[in-house]
A and B are shown apart, each in its own frame.
Chain A
Amino acid sequence: MRRQVLLLAAAVALAAVAFSGDRFWLQFLGKAMIGCILAIGLDLLVGFTGMVSLAHSAFFGLAAYALALLTNRLGLVSPLVTLPLCIAFAAAAALVIGWLSLRATGVYFIMVTLAFTQMLFFLFNDSPALGGSDGLYVQARPVNSRLAAYVVIWVALIAVYLLLSRVLRAPYGRVLEGIRGNEQRMRSLGYPTRRYKLVAFVIAGATAGVAGYLDATLYGFVNPAQLGWRQSGLILVTVLLGGKGTLYGPAFGALLLAFIEHYGEQVTEHWNALIAALVIAVVLFLPRGLAGLLHGNPRG
């Protein structure tokens, strides 16, 4: 109950910001909500299926690059055309990378996804045709005003959240949770678990693609660092900080990190130390993340 009230309040508050029209807050919270989309998408894998992927940033970056290339090279601008194309591209990449990576399990799975992420990072970073380490400008953005971009991001966040919670309530989502609990058992019950995991990987990749598309729309710019493993690491930290396996936890984790970054920067240039202290404290004292605070027993 508390959870629903909190979620509704946050959604309304974020919507209300749109009416303020303040340029800084639109940009800042727009960015923060993109972080929320990334975090809840990864939570589907990490929290609900037990797959720790470091490839999430790759699909984010691929969709952002896809938008830049579609507009710059082919002159495609309208979101009605570019959005589905970019999401489809991210999903297709997730299908290929997921199909290959899922041959490995456990720590090896983490490392294969890391390898693909770094491979893509260096492909973009080292090739002048794709902008190299400077990245690319999106020459004509699909949505021009900052307010419109903010509204689109808000709608996308709500849509992704509702979609993922719907998926998780469906029998399919129950199978995923079964896989997290004991994959062997689910397989012996007759579920083709690898196919289920692959579908989850593709859904998560597509949501990361949505986030990447929105980011390139909001900033009109994409660079290879957004694709690299550091970014994936940060999304993973966001999920764990907020509380994996809750969907709303990682979303709040992303908002919290955005605020810490913003205010921390004003207080000290060493604001990363604040994040480090928070992260370490959460691991040691709140194994269930910040979402654990909402439940009776945060430690357990």
Chain B
Amino acid sequence: MSLSLFLVQLVNGVEYGLLLFLVASGLTLVFGVLGVLNFAHGSFYMLGAYLAWWLSARTGSLLLGVLIGVPAMVLIGLVVERLAIARLYSRDHLSQVLLTYGLVLLFNELQSVLWGNDVHGVNTPAALSWTMRLGETQTWPAWRAFTSFACICIAIAMRQVVLKTRFGMRVRAGASNAEMVEALGIDVRRLFSTLFAAGTALAGLAGMLAAPLTTVYPGMGENVLILSFVVVVIGGIGSIKGAFFGALLVGLADTFGKVLLPGFASAMVYAVMAAILLWRPRGLLGAAAEGR
């Protein structure tokens, strides 16, 4: 493998990993703090991508699409939490799997009714449609660089919020012991709905950033959902740091696997996950309570 090819794979792997992190961070927090196994999280990614396509076609600008789309995703998150997820807090994981699986079917039908089943391309903004040279032979689109940069900014912002604010403190407390947080008199309902809406918006944003790279198509949320589960489990449930490193690991394994072991690339990610779980049954950085 030449140096420039290696570099391209490296930056693409990191970029893919960072996008996965946006999806997985919401999943791991909803899982760790709310105790809800949310199969519909991939649908939010899909909805984000479709909103980016639809809104940018309407407004003529992807940037405007994102600016309208993210608040829309927050709203969707609040509504889904209030109408469906909130009824599951006291129920077992099985009911959660069943209900959120129902939501996945519902969102898929919604997408097919509203936007049809065609594949759509999304144009990158004119200012970011150039490519940069990487070594002798390879190029890297500016949109990928921008996506990576945006994801890194968001990751740093999340770190600040989680470590430095009162809200973040409650989130961390909730991830290690949700019942205790409730017993301390903190308004858990509000904490939960805020957190769920934030996770929804992050997954939606990841879909919007990915839309110009992957095109927009039915079922696009599913692959991301399963990979995000892999990330969450590798990192340890409820751990944002774990999700970050897990996402980079999965992103790199997937990207390099496609070049080095073309026939085995997709299976490899799952083999890595199985190996890590057999070595550390709670994930790399997981310390969540029994049965979670």
Genuine A/B complex: yes
**Contact surface of A with B, Cβ cutoff 8 Å:** 46, 52, 100, 103-108, 110-112, 114-116, 118-120, 122-123, 125-127, 229-230, 233, 236-237, 240-241, 244, 270, 272-273, 275-277, 279-280, 282-284, 287
Residues of the B chain whose Cβ atoms lie less than 8 Å from the Cβ of A119? 267, 270-271, 274
**Contact surface of B with A, Cβ cutoff 8 Å:** 31, 37, 39, 84, 87-88, 91, 93-95, 97-99, 101-103, 105-106, 108-109, 112-113, 222, 226, 229-230, 233, 237, 262-267, 270-271, 273-274, 277-278, 281-283, 290-292
The answer to whether A276 and B226 touch across the interface, beta carbons within 8 angstroms, is no
Alpha-carbon distance between A212 and B237 when the two chains are bound, in angstroms: 34
The answer to whether B93 and A52 touch across the interface, beta carbons within 8 angstroms, is yes
Alpha-carbon distance between A104 and B282 when the two chains are bound, in angstroms: 8
The answer to whether B270 and A118 touch across the interface, beta carbons within 8 angstroms, is yes
The answer to whether B266 and A126 touch across the interface, beta carbons within 8 angstroms, is yes
Alpha-carbon distance between A145 and B265 when the two chains are bound, in angstroms: 41
Residues of the A chain whose Cβ atoms lie less than 8 Å from the Cβ of B281? 103-105, 108
The answer to whether B277 and A280 touch across the interface, beta carbons within 8 angstroms, is no
The answer to whether B270 and A107 touch across the interface, beta carbons within 8 angstroms, is no
The answer to whether B267 and A126 touch across the interface, beta carbons within 8 angstroms, is yes
Alpha-carbon distance between A52 and B271 when the two chains are bound, in angstroms: 20
Residues of the B chain whose Cβ atoms lie less than 8 Å from the Cβ of A282? 98
Alpha-carbon distance between A46 and B95 when the two chains are bound, in angstroms: 12
Alpha-carbon distance between A284 and B266 when the two chains are bound, in angstroms: 36
Given contacts A119-B271, A240-B98, contact A273 B109 (CB under 8 A): yes
Alpha-carbon distance between A134 and B93 when the two chains are bound, in angstroms: 35
The answer to whether B94 and A240 touch across the interface, beta carbons within 8 angstroms, is yes
Alpha-carbon distance between A120 and B270 when the two chains are bound, in angstroms: 9
Q: List 16 A-B contacts (CB under 8 A).
A: A103-B277, A106-B291, A107-B31, A112-B233, A112-B277, A115-B270, A118-B267, A118-B270, A120-B267, A126-B263, A126-B264, A240-B98, A272-B108, A276-B105, A276-B106, A287-B91
Residue of B nearest to A236 (CB): B97
Alpha-carbon distance between A13 and B242 when the two chains are bound, in angstroms: 54
Interface residues of chain A: helix, strand, loop or mixed (majority): helix
The answer to whether A107 and B292 touch across the interface, beta carbons within 8 angstroms, is yes
The answer to whether A279 and B101 touch across the interface, beta carbons within 8 angstroms, is yes
The answer to whether B99 and A280 touch across the interface, beta carbons within 8 angstroms, is yes
The answer to whether B291 and A105 touch across the interface, beta carbons within 8 angstroms, is yes
Contact of A115 among B37, B97, B109, B273 (CB under 8 A): B273
Residues of the A chain whose Cβ atoms lie less than 8 Å from the Cβ of B94? 46, 52, 240, 244
Alpha-carbon distance between A116 and B99 when the two chains are bound, in angstroms: 24
The answer to whether A280 and B292 touch across the interface, beta carbons within 8 angstroms, is no
Residues of the B chain whose Cβ atoms lie less than 8 Å from the Cβ of A127? 263
Contact of A122 among B84, B88, B108, B267 (CB under 8 A): B267
Alpha-carbon distance between A112 and B234 when the two chains are bound, in angstroms: 10
The answer to whether A279 and B237 touch across the interface, beta carbons within 8 angstroms, is no
Residue of B nearest to A241 (CB): B98
The answer to whether A114 and B102 touch across the interface, beta carbons within 8 angstroms, is no
The answer to whether A100 and B105 touch across the interface, beta carbons within 8 angstroms, is no
The answer to whether A115 and B277 touch across the interface, beta carbons within 8 angstroms, is yes
The answer to whether A116 and B274 touch across the interface, beta carbons within 8 angstroms, is yes
Alpha-carbon distance between A244 and B101 when the two chains are bound, in angstroms: 17
Contact of A276 among B95, B102, B265, B267 (CB under 8 A): B102
Contact of B105 among A123, A279, A284 (CB under 8 A): A279
Alpha-carbon distance between A125 and B278 when the two chains are bound, in angstroms: 25
The answer to whether A279 and B278 touch across the interface, beta carbons within 8 angstroms, is no
**Extra contacts besides A105-B281, A275-B102 (18): CB < 8 Å:** A106-B291, A107-B37, A107-B292, A110-B37, A112-B278, A116-B274, A119-B274, A127-B263, A236-B97, A236-B101, A237-B98, A240-B95, A272-B109, A275-B105, A276-B102, A277-B106, A280-B106, A284-B99
Residues of the A chain whose Cβ atoms lie less than 8 Å from the Cβ of B264? 122-123, 126
Residues of the A chain whose Cβ atoms lie less than 8 Å from the Cβ of B109? 270, 272-273, 276
Alpha-carbon distance between A277 and B84 when the two chains are bound, in angstroms: 12
Residue of A nearest to B233 (CB): A111
Alpha-carbon distance between A105 and B84 when the two chains are bound, in angstroms: 27
Residues of the A chain whose Cβ atoms lie less than 8 Å from the Cβ of B39? 233
Residues of the B chain whose Cβ atoms lie less than 8 Å from the Cβ of A122? 264, 266-267, 270
Residues of the B chain whose Cβ atoms lie less than 8 Å from the Cβ of A233? 39, 97, 101
Alpha-carbon distance between A103 and B282 when the two chains are bound, in angstroms: 10
Residues of the B chain whose Cβ atoms lie less than 8 Å from the Cβ of A120? 267
